């Protein structure tokens, strides 16, 4: 007869396996235990024991099953670690963490690598993050479209926070005029890929995440890339890509953080959160729910045209990272925030304002049940986003006879650069005029002259005699506003039905700099 | 009726670059209430100084302009039919696209 107590010490000992135990010692102990157990079991059957002893036996059998399961898990882990070790990234002997993201057993000790405890320590100790939040970050994958003023700070914070996989998509190259705001690029990288440049900078911040670099522009045909990610950040700079990215987020069922900035203002929204696919009752709006129709192209300004203050776009990129991290770390039982738009205005009386915005539009062309936009239609390229958003009409609004080339204009000024027998009107806005201008030119900003109502306003501002035959030449930065100005002056009758020549300088100061005077500043 | 109107996202350029306008809007024809539809007409006539097509399309705002009444999207309060009250704050904001 066997005493049941004899078995217990073995079982107790086995059930207190520590992660610190070497796999080899666990293997040895399980084998030993197994052998002894089988021996006792046979003996028990032989002596036909019943009652409490039998129940104890069941209990021990369960423990054994658990241990066998644990053993298999550890073996798998060891195998994975072995392959990492061969890449020279980890020392298996010292590695004790249980790094199984598939399980939610984040209360186990060493659920992260020791390096991760240290690296993320300052956020790990916060109740908003903790082990659950950090593991959610590590399990997440974020696609950042646009490696510019928004993408740079957003990516830096997400990399630093320990997002598991970060994708960077941008087909542009770094330009020196980017560097005042696109803070992850540097002067040595001018002329090279922005996506590669940002990827390199992120690896220096944190080598642990996986980085996927996509050094090309997003188009519908390559939008399948979103399938590998659990969230998208829209860090682009035009309406067509904003609609495309929103549609991508909808068809792939992932949340989107969309931000934008211009001059001194910024806007940010969390969209498709939770995504339509999860529970359409609770699903958040998509970009098309809020803006069903695109803005007229003439109302859209780029940072190159309107200007941008570096920290303004930086604030918005940082907020994108913050909103992304909040969505990623949100426990599954916690509801998403109600849809809102955060507006930032650097010079406003209130710098930040949060506005409640409409929810999901039940008849939305992208995310409602009767949508025609599917993953297939998107990737086939049948949605034309450029056509949807429209483009400005070609800028040649004047006939060739009403325009003068920079070459011809150069021959009309004397060596000192002052105008001879003509009036040169510079219609750039004041800050640009103050950057560089030609001696003797008359400055009238386009925004002002556009509102002139009669000839007198024009002749006063330009200090010209309405009866004079002196030709008027109009110049601006690129040669668009100058053409509109010529038309405006004619409308007001300054040309006296063709008696006085009013012409624009083709291509503006930019053409002047390229073809005539290389000492003219490029800005 | 005393209202505060705010323009942002570049719309302020249509009204002398002034962002905040404290205005007094009179009710037309002894009407008992002022709706957003009435206010848009009034703003177009009295506040917008140039290119009204950059602000309105038809009898509403152009696509790409958000309207917020007391920090809330006007879609949630009835759009053009939203009734305004004394001291309300109405924000017109153009969406930005730079990045």
Establish if A109 belongs to a structural domain.
no
Q: CB-based contacts of A26: which residues, under 8 Å, 6+ apart?
A: A17, A70, A71, A74
Alpha helices in A92-150 (DSSP H): 114-119, 121-124, 130-139
Together in a domain, A217 and A86: no
Together in a domain, A154 and A229: yes
Residue A289 counted as an annotated binding residue:
yes
Query: How far is A255 from A273, CA to CA, in rounded Å?
Result: 5
Together in a domain, A208 and A287: yes
Query: How far is A428 from A256, CA to CA, in rounded Å?
Result: 38
**ipTM of the predicted structure?**
0.92
CATH of the domain at A496: 3.40.250.10
Q: What is the structure's pLDDT at A14?
A: 45
Establish if A118 belongs to a structural domain.
no
Query: How far is A230 from A210, CA to CA, in rounded Å?
Result: 14
Residue A178 counted as an annotated binding residue:
yes
Together in a domain, A234 and A371: yes
Domains of chain B: 2-94 (3.10.20.30)
Of the three residues A356, A389, A422, the one that is the final residue of a domain is: A389
CATH of the domain at A261: 3.40.50.720
Partners of residue A426 on adjacent β-strands = A443, A475
Together in a domain, A231 and A362: yes
Q: What is the DSSP letter of A221?
A: G
**B22 and B2 Cβ atoms separated by less than 8 Å:** yes
Distances from the Cα of A494 to the Cα of A17, A222, A426, B39, angstroms: 94, 53, 17, 38
Together in a domain, A438 and A511: yes
Detail the DSSP E strand segments found in A81-206.
141-145, 165-169
Query: How far is A521 from A201, CA to CA, in rounded Å?
Result: 31
Together in a domain, A186 and A330: yes
Residue in A299, A306, A316 nearest the CB of B64 = A299
Together in a domain, A372 and A438: no
Residue A180 counted as an annotated binding residue:
yes
Residue numbers in B near A293 (CB within 8 A): 63-64
Summarize pLDDT for B26-78 with one digit per residue, the tens: 887 777 899 999 999 999 999 999 899 999 999 999 999 999 999 999 999 99
Together in a domain, A321 and A207: yes
Among this protein's residues, is A476 annotated catalytic?
yes
Residues 136-195 of A with CB under 8 A from B: 146, 148-151
Query: How far is A95 from A138, CA to CA, in rounded Å?
Result: 18
Residue numbers in A near B66 (CB within 8 A): 290, 341, 355, 357
Per-residue pLDDT of chain A (523 residues; tens, 9 = 90+): 444 444 443 444 444 455 555 555 555 565 555 655 566 556 555 544 444 444 555 556 666 666 776 666 666 565 555 444 444 333 333 333 444 444 445 555 678 999 999 999 999 999 999 999 999 999 999 999 999 999 999 999 999 999 999 999 999 999 999 999 999 999 999 999 999 999 999 999 999 999 999 999 999 999 999 999 999 999 999 999 999 999 999 999 999 999 999 999 999 999 999 998 766 678 999 999 999 999 999 889 888 889 999 999 999 999 999 999 999 999 999 999 999 999 999 998 889 999 999 999 999 999 998 888 999 999 999 999 999 998 876 656 899 999 999 999 998 886 656 667 899 999 999 999 999 999 889 999 999 999 999 999 999 999 999 999 899 999 999 999 999 999 999 999 999 998 999 999 999 999 999 999 999 999 9
Establish if A195 belongs to a structural domain.
yes
Together in a domain, A374 and A406: no
Together in a domain, A262 and A363: yes
Q: What is the structure's pLDDT at A349?
A: 83
Establish if A186 belongs to a structural domain.
yes
Together in a domain, A177 and A66: no
- Quote the minimal CA–CA distance from B2 to chain A in Å: 19
Catalytic residue among A152, A235, A303, A389: A303
Establish if A69 belongs to a structural domain.
yes
Q: Which domain holds residue A211?
A: 140-389
Q: What does the angle CA B74 – CA B78 – CA B83 come to, to the nearest 5 degrees?
A: 90
CB contact under 8 A, B96 and A236: no
- Quote the minimal CA–CA distance from B80 to chain A in Å: 15
Establish if A25 belongs to a structural domain.
yes
Of the three residues A334, A366, A389, the one that is the final residue of a domain is: A389
Encoded tokens for A8: 């217990």
Q: State the total domains in chain A.
A: 3
CB contact under 8 A, B99 and A150: yes
Establish if A18 belongs to a structural domain.
yes
Establish if A99 belongs to a structural domain.
no
For tokens 């913050």, name the residue. A322
**A422 and A471 Cβ atoms separated by less than 8 Å:** yes
Q: Which residues in B have their CB inside 8 Å of a CB on A?
A: 8-10, 13, 19-20, 49-51, 53-54, 62-66, 68, 71-73, 75-76, 91, 93-99
Q: What is the structure's pLDDT at A186?
A: 97
């Amino acid at each position: 007869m066997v005493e049941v107590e004899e078995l217990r010490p073995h079982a107790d000992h086995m059930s207190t396996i520590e992660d610190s135990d070497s796999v080899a010692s666990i293997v040895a102990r399980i084998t030993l235990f197994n052998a002894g157990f089988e021996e006792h079991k046979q003996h028990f059957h032989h002596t036909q024991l019943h009652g409490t002893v039998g129940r104890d036996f069941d209990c021990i059998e369960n423990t054994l099953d658990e241990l066998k399961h644990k053993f298999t898990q550890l073996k798998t882990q060891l195998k994975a670690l072995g392959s990492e070790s061969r890449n020279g990234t980890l020392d298996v002997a010292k590695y004790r963490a249980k790094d199984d993201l598939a399980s939610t057993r984040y209360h186990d000790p060493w659920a992260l690598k020791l390096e991760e405890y240290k690296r993320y320590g300052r956020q790990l100790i916060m109740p908003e993050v903790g082990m659950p939040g950090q593991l959610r970050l590590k399990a997440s994958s974020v696609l950042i479209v646009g490696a510019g003023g928004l993408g740079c700070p957003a990516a830096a914070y997400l990399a630093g926070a320990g997002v598991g996989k970060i994708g960077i998509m941008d087909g542009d190259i770094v330009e020196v005029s980017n560097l005042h705001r696109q803070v992850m690029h540097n002067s040595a990288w001018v002329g090279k890929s922005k996506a590669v440049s940002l990827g390199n900078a992120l690896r220096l911040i944190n080598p642990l995440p996986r980085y996927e670099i996509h050094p090309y522009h997003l188009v519908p045909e390559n939008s399948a890339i979103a399938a590998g990610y659990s969230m998208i950040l829209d860090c682009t700079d035009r309406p067509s890509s904003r609609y495309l990215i929103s549609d991508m987020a909808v068809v792939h069922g992932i949340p989107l953080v969309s931000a934008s900035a211009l001059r001194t203002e910024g806007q940010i929204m969390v969209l498709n959160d939770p995504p339509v696919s999860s529970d359409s009752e609770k699903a958040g709006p998509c970009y098309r729910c809020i803006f069903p129709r695109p803005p007229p192209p003439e109302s859209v300004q780029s940072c190159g045209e309107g200007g941008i203050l570096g920290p303004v776009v930086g604030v918005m990129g940082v907020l994108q990272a913050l909103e992304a991290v909040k969505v990623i770390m949100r426990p599954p039982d916690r509801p998403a925030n109600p849809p809102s738009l955060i507006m930032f205005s650097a010079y406003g009386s209130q710098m930040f304002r949060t506005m409640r915005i409409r929810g999901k539009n039940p008849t939305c062309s992208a995310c409602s049940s009767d949508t025609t936009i599917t993953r297939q239609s998107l990737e086939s390229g049948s949605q034309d986003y450029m056509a949807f958003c429209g483009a400005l009409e070609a800028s040649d609004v004047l006939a060739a006879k009403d325009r003068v080339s920079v070459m011809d204009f150069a021959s009309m000024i004397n060596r000192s650069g002052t105008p001879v027998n003509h009036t040169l009107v510079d219609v750039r806005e004041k800050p640009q005029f103050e950057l560089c201008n030609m001696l003797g030119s008359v400055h009238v900003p386009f925004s002002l002259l556009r509102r002139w109502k009669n000839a007198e306003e024009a002749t006063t501002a330009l200090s010209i005699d309405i009866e004079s035959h002196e030709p008027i030449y109009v110049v601006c930065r690129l040669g668009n506003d100058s053409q509109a100005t010529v038309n405006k002056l004619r409308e007001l009758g300054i040309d006296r039905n063709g008696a006085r020549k009013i012409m624009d300088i083709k291509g503006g100061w930019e053409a002047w700099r390229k073809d005539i005077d290389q000492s003219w500043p490029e800005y | 009726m005393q209202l505060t109107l705010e323009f942002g996202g570049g719309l302020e350029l249509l009204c002398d670059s002034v962002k905040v306008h404290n205005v007094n809007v009179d009710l037309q024809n002894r009407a008992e209430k002022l709706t957003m539809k009435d206010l848009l007409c009034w703003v177009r006539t009295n506040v917008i100084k140039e290119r009204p097509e950059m602000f309105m399309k038809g009898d509403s705002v152009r696509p790409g302009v958000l309207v917020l009444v007391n920090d809330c999207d006007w879609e949630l309060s009835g759009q053009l039919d939203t009734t305004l009250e004394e001291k309300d704050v109405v924000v017109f904001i153009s969406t930005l696209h730079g990045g």
